[in-house]
Amino acid sequence: MQARAPVKPRAWNWRSRAARGLVYQLVALTLIAAGVWFLASNTQRNMAVRGIQSGFGFLQQAAGFDIGETLIAYDPAQSYGRAIVVGVLNTLRVAVVGIICTTILGVLVGVGRFSRNALVRGLCYGYVELFRNVPILLQLLMWYLFFVEVLPAPNEAWKLLDLFYLSKGGVAFPVPVWADAHLLTAGGALAGVAVGWWWRRRVQRRFELTGENGNRWLVPLVAIVGLSLLGWLLGGAPTAWSVPQQEAFQVDGGASATPEFMAVLVGLTMYTASFVAEVVRGGIQSVSHGQTEAAGALGLSRRQTMNLVVLPQAMRVIIPPLTNQYLNLTKNSSLAVAIGYPDVVSIANTTLNQSGRAVECIAIIMLVYLTTSLSTSALMNAYNKRVAIKER
């Protein structure tokens, strides 16, 4: 066996490209840090000269204003910090639910653009052209007016099966009365997701090695439902539900989503899904037509061709622009302030007006959106690396 040649140590001198690159990076970082320090100190000095208070200590002071929609307990006597946390949760609520709904609707419309039914193709095309060419702010206002003007009053709400109610008061729906068993049910569902993920990886490996394709959905579905049911039974099988009921002046009971939340959610979903549909369409069209012809020659059905041949190759084209649309949806949620939804921008603006801490409040808003955007981007980049086609 031939011995490997010894690794030569790097020559750390100015003639080395690696050494020069490291020096350039250190100089750039030093200049950036100096610039940030200069701006921060200059701003703080000018604010002190003008008698403007600075710092984040105001977050401990009592807010003194109410918030109409909260996911956690909140009282006006609590601090500004607590109020901003409520706003952040409201923003995340819209972003997470909106991304899920946008993905489902956008994929369906994008795939529908290739339907053999001319009516389906025309409806998908019309949807894309309508919603992506109308400004998002106008769409939010349109949906808000629909929920507060067009819909009937709460005492005359539209209902479905006496379980779901739609009115100017929002959407009311039944929810289970919380018990410890529901925590076990959620744990069982998470375990089912893990089992389903393991099963799909197993089927994929077998398909790559032998060409035999198994059912990728039945076992995960049975695992999620079965383990959730097992957790529910172990917790005592509670059956109590809070069901909304039509009262003389309003719908009482159950859970509800306010008109502001519904307007923001529907508006962002309909708008962003039109772009996601175009992303999906472009990704599918990027796959060579010869691939579908080869799949047909092998006897694969149209559904099998889409699931096993087209989409796996299209995903490497779809994921990067899809990430941009997720980021756009999250950032566009800041427009919810126009219709009164208490997101982080709305609550930070109220805090700014009462406390006068403009720089701090704007910095908090920037930090929230920067954190959510970077987190979304990191997750999507990890998924993109996972589904990318490996070159041999």
- Where do the structural domains in the chain lie, given as residue ranges? 80-137+257-387, 178-239
Task: Tally Cβ neighbours within 10 Å of residue 46.
Answer: 10
The identity of residue 152, as a single letter, is P
pLDDT for position 272: 93
Beta partners for residue 166, in sequence order: 158, 171
pLDDT for position 267: 92
Beta-carbon contacts of 138 under 8 Å, excluding residues fewer than 6 positions away, are none
pLDDT for position 11: 56
Chain center to CA of 142: 23
Residue 245 contacts residue 275 (beta carbons within 8 Å): no
Strand 241-242 and strand 175-176: the pairing is antiparallel
pLDDT for position 151: 82
Task: Tally Cβ neighbours within 10 Å of residue 26.
Answer: 10
Helix (H, G, I), strand (E, B) or coil at 61: coil
| Cα distances (Å, whole numbers) of residue 229 to 182, 198, 206, 331 | 10, 20, 30, 38
Residue 97 has, within 13 A of its CA and on its CB side, a CA count of 16
| Cα distances (Å, whole numbers) of residue 282 to 121, 151, 318, 320, 368 | 15, 37, 8, 12, 32
pLDDT for position 1: 46
**Length of the chain in terms of residues written:** 392
Torsions phi, psi of 13, nearest 5?
A: -135, 175
| DSSP code per residue over 172-237 | EE-EEPP-HHHHHHHHHHHHHHHHHHHHHHHHHHHHHHH-----SSHHHHHHHHHHHHHHHHHTT-
CATH number for the domain formed by residue range(s) 80-137+257-387: 1.10.3720.10
Residue 108 contacts residue 281 (beta carbons within 8 Å): no
pLDDT for position 8: 53
Grouped pLDDT means (10 residues each) for the chain, 392 residues: 53 71 87 86 71 71 83 84 89 91 91 86 90 90 88 80 81 78 83 86 79 75 85 78 76 80 91 92 83 78 76 82 90 88 88 82 89 89 74 56
